[in-house]
């Protein structure tokens, strides 16, 4: 009896790459604005609909959507930062108020996405719910292309963020604004602009992840909301304090989710698979109870958190 | 128009109970519970799941029919009896509310495990994520409420006959007002003031010998019990349930209502709920005027509008309509002497 087959590993790596990409954006925004951005759900969904709209309107290759989604969602995220979060931040609004604000943004964007989906159906006479584009995906060594593209995109994005934060003046200014905004302001860094740049990048990352989703799984206007718990879980598992923790968190959560469900289903029974969405929550609670700052928050050298 | 107002009052009653529960947690104690859906769904689903079984047992009816999968035929058996026996029906109503409250409290107990440990941002994420669990369980575990198609409930308000619709709203409103009065009283007691003290300055409260963990847990339990009761009120009123209670309706809207009314103020919660439910109902009421004019479902316009309202309140009036007032206290004779010099 083979518990873990090749297809399970492919499913794990694809899922993990998506989780890591989405968690990367969440962690970046958390590091800068100190807010858990619930609107990330809609950002991801917008990315997915960008891809679909392009394929419908211009019958282009689904992968064309990636750069477009990066720029479009980045700009939306930037505008929302200046319109909503920056005024609240200036007034020293509490964390809870900022979170309600992102929740409200999410509700608004959900409205827009659904209106757009209805418009697509009316204007182009195409379905706009339960969309799957994996049929038009290429295959490489017998595996779906999305596996390689998702992993490659994750590697490129993580590397780009690493290079940006560590080897450029802009990156140093960004990090200074994250670590100590007052001090950064004092030495002449425009903190507000640095935060805006992080919101552009964070939103853009969500857009990239979203743009690839139609090639991986069915897209609905609620796809972001469905994935929200998992992406936050990945981000927290990795530790919200560490940007690269997001990559680790995505890999771990994806592993537990996909492999765990497969193994459990073969031992207990196939009905277990139905409760798969509960797994990230269990992982989340277990980790937070034992390591309240996530995996990356554990300081191994000192032997304590 | 009368029907519109009666329906509005029932919805108002349900939301008032939820919002009082949320206000006790967020407004009074400062616990950002973004997962009240968990308690509301707990109350709703467990009440719905047990209702038919309990009614059969209480009426002493022996049947081979399954209370969940043969739901409709069982209810045809049960409902005529409930119609003719008001006392049994009313006791069942009270029993259902107690079940809802107990279910809510159980969900509160589960949420309190992370709530007393985690910082507010981690907590908010965890609770928000937990809110969805019961929908997954409700869809997967059919003996609860029959999976995706849902179940109907025995009509414990059937004794009102043709006035059932009015009686439903009236009873719901009565329960909500009673809960409002009790909550208003609790806030003024030493217990309520301790909760506020914990919210305003945890260190001082701790220095005065108050157990923060204990008070926070009790606050979540009270709040979740109320949310559970509200869930139960909702299923009793609507008479049927599917495992699809949405985060938008049962977490976002309550937050928006207490935000609009003014967090920490019970009167504010009342005003905020009334304004909001009226607004929401009016949008749905006039929805059909727009059908055909707009190229999309009007419900999404509702999302845009409510999201925008929330953002505007946050930016321009974060303290809400009714500002939280200090608890009035009659000055003792000594303090009067002191202030006169």
CA pair distance A152, B230, nearest whole angstrom = 49
- The count of C-alpha atoms lying within 13 angstroms of the C-alpha of A43, restricted to the half-sphere facing its C-beta, is 37
Question: What confidence score (pLDDT) does residue B82 get?
Answer: 86
- Enumerate chain B positions whose Cβ falls within 8 A of a Cβ in A: 26, 32, 34, 113-114, 117-122, 124-126, 128-130, 132-133, 136-137, 139-140, 247-248, 252, 255-256, 259, 295-297, 300-304, 306-308, 310-311, 314-315, 318
Spacing of C-alpha A236 from chain mean position: 12
A110 touches B: beta carbon within 8 Å: yes
Torsion of CA A249, A180, A165, A294, to 10 degrees: -10
Of B60 and B28, which is predicted with more confidence?
A: B28
Q: Which of B251, B283, B296, B301 to mutate to test the interface with A (most CBs of A within 10 A)?
A: B296
Which pair of structure tokens corresponds to residue A44? 């991801």
Summarize pLDDT for A159-183 with one digit per residue, the tens: 999 899 889 999 899 888 888 888 9
CB B104 within 8 A of CB B231: yes
* Residue ranges of chain A with per-residue pLDDT less than 70: 1-4, 293-305
- ipTM of predicted complex: 0.87
* CA angle B149–A122–A135, rounded 5-degree value: 75
Where residue B15 falls among pLDDT bands split at 50, 70, 90?
very high
A136 touches B: beta carbon within 8 Å: no
Averaged over B87-99, what is the pLDDT? Answer: 93
- Identify the sign of the CA torsion A266, A271, A277, A280: negative
Spacing of C-alpha B140 from chain mean position: 24
Spacing of C-alpha A83 from chain mean position: 22
Number of structural domains chain B divides into: 1
The distance of A109 to chain B (nearest Cα, Å) reads 7
Interchain proximity A278–B136, CB inside 8 Å: yes
Question: What confidence score (pLDDT) does residue A3 get?
Answer: 56
- Per CB-CB distance under 8 Å, the chain A contacts of B307 are 104-111
Interchain proximity B118–A292, CB inside 8 Å: yes
Helix A40-58 / helix A65-80 crossing angle, nearest 10 deg: 140
Where would I find the beta strands (DSSP E) of chain B?
151-152, 240-241
Q: Which of B148, B283, B314, B320 to mutate to test the interface with A (most CBs of A within 10 A)?
A: B314
CA pair distance B221, A285, nearest whole angstrom = 19
Share of chain B above pLDDT 90, in %: 43
CB A72 within 8 A of CB A181: no
Identify the residue whose tokens are 């309240």: A292
Summarize pLDDT for B231-259 with one digit per residue, the tens: 999 999 999 999 989 888 999 999 999 99
> Residue A236 is nearest to which of B122, B130, B255, comparing CB atoms?
B122
Element (H, E) at B24: none
> Residue A118 is nearest to which of B114, B122, B295, comparing CB atoms?
B295
Domain limits for position B221: 2-246
> Residue A285 is nearest to which of B114, B139, B259, comparing CB atoms?
B114
CA pair distance A10, A16, nearest whole angstrom = 10
pTM of the model: 0.89
Query: Where on the phi/psi map is residue A222: left (φ > 0), alpha (ψ -120 to 50), or beta?
Result: alpha
Interchain proximity A96–B307, CB inside 8 Å: no
Question: What confidence score (pLDDT) does residue A304 get?
Answer: 39
CA pair distance B306, B293, nearest whole angstrom = 21
A236 touches B: beta carbon within 8 Å: yes
Q: Is residue B287 part of a domain?
A: no
- Chain A residue with CA closest to B308: the answer is A108
Summarize pLDDT for B45-92 with one digit per residue, the tens: 999 999 999 998 888 888 888 888 888 888 888 888 888 888 889 999
Summarize pLDDT for B123-156 with one digit per residue, the tens: 888 888 888 889 889 988 888 888 888 999 998 8
Interface A-B, measured as beta-carbon pairs within 8 A, has a size of: 138
Question: What confidence score (pLDDT) does residue A294 get?
Answer: 66
A241 touches B: beta carbon within 8 Å: no
Identify the residue whose tokens are 């720029």: A71
Q: Is residue B34 part of a domain?
A: yes
- Per CB-CB distance under 8 Å, the chain A contacts of B130 are 281
Question: What confidence score (pLDDT) does residue B319 get?
Answer: 85
Where residue B108 falls among pLDDT bands split at 50, 70, 90?
very high
Which of A210, A208, A257 is CA-nearest to residue A233? A257
Q: Is residue B317 part of a domain?
A: no
Where residue B202 falls among pLDDT bands split at 50, 70, 90?
confident
Sequence-distant (≥ 6) Cβ neighbours of residue B221 within 8 angstroms: B105, B108, B109, B112
CA pair distance A21, A158, nearest whole angstrom = 8
Distances (CA, A) of A281 to A54, A216, A238: 35, 22, 14
Question: Which backbone phi and psi does A131 adopt, to 5 degrees?
Answer: -90, 140
The distance of B28 to chain A (nearest Cα, Å) reads 14
Question: What confidence score (pLDDT) does residue B125 get?
Answer: 83
CA pair distance B107, B229, nearest whole angstrom = 12
């Amino acid at each position: 009896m083979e518990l873990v087959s090749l297809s399970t590993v492919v499913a794990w790596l694809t899922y993990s790459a998506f989780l890591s990409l989405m968690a990367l954006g969440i962690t970046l925004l958390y590091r800068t604005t100190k807010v858990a951005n619930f609107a990330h759900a809609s950002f991801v969904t917008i990315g997915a609909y960008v891809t679909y709209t392009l394929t419908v309107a211009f019958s282009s290759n689904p992968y064309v959507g990636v750069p477009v989604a990066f720029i479009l969602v980045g700009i939306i995220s930037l505008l929302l930062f200046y319109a909503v979060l920056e005024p609240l931040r200036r007034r020293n609004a509490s964390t809870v108020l900022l979170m309600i604000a992102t929740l409200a943004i999410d509700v608004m964007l959900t409205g827009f996405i659904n209106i757009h989906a209805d418009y697509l159906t009316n204007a182009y006479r195409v379905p706009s719910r339960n969309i799957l584009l994996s049929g038009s995906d290429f295959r490489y060594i017998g595996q779906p292309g999305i596996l390689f593209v998702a992993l490659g995109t994750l590697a490129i994005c993580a590397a780009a963020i690493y290079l940006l934060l560590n080897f450029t003046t802009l990156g140093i200014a960004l990090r200074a604004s994250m670590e100590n905004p007052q001090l950064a302001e004092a030495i002449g860094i425009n903190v507000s602009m640095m935060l805006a740049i992080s919101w552009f990048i964070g939103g853009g990352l969500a857009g990239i992840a979203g743009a690839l989703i139609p090639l991986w799984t069915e897209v609905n206007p609620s796809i972001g909301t469905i994935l929200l718990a998992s992406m936050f879980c990945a981000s927290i598992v990795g530790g919200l304090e560490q940007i690269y923790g997001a990559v680790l968190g995505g890999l771990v959560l994806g592993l537990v989710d996909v492999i765990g469900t497969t193994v459990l289903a073969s031992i207990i029974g196939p009905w277990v698979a139905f409760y798969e969405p509960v797994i990230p929550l269990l992982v989340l609670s277990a980790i937070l109870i034992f390591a309240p700052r996530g995996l990356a928050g554990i300081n191994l050298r000192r032997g304590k958190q | 128009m009368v029907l519109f107002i009666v329906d509005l009052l029932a919805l108002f009653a349900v939301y008032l109970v939820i919002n009082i529960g949320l206000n006790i947690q967020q407004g009074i104690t400062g616990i950002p519970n973004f997962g009240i859906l968990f308690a509301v769904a707990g109350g709703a689903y467990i009440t719905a799941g047990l209702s038919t079984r309990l009614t059969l047992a209480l009426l002493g009816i022996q049947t081979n029919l399954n209370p969940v999968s043969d739901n409709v035929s069982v209810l045809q058996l049960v409902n005529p009896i409930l119609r003719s026996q008001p006392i049994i029906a009313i006791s069942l109503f009270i029993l259902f509310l107690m079940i809802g409250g107990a279910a809510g409290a159980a969900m509160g107990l589960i949420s309190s495990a992370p709530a007393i440990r985690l910082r507010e941002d981690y907590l908010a994420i965890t609770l928000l994520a937990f809110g969805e669990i019961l929908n997954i369980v409700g869809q997967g575990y059919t003996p609860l409420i029959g999976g995706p198609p849902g179940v109907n409930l025995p009509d414990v308000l059937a004794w009102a006959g043709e006035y059932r619709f009015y009686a439903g709203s009236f009873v719901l409103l009565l329960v909500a007002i009673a809960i409002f009065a009790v909550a208003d009283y609790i806030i003024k007691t030493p217990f309520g003031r301790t909760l506020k003290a914990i919210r305003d300055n945890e260190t001082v409260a701790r220095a005065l010998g108050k157990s923060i963990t204990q008070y926070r847990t009790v606050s979540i339990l009270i709040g979740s019990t109320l949310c559970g009761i509200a869930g139960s009120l909702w299923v009793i009123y609507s008479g049927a349930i599917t495992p699809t209670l949405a985060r938008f309706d049962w977490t976002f809207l309550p937050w928006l209502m207490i935000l609009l009314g003014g967090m920490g103020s019970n009167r504010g919660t009342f005003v905020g709920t009334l304004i909001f439910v009226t607004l929401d109902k009016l949008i749905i009421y006039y929805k059909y005027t727009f059908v055909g004019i707009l190229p999309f479902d009007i419900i999404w316009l509702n999302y845009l509008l409510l999201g925008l309202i929330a953002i505007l309140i946050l930016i321009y009036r974060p303290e809400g309509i009714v500002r939280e007032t200090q608890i009035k206290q009659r000055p003792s004779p000594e303090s009067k002497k002191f202030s006169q010099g």
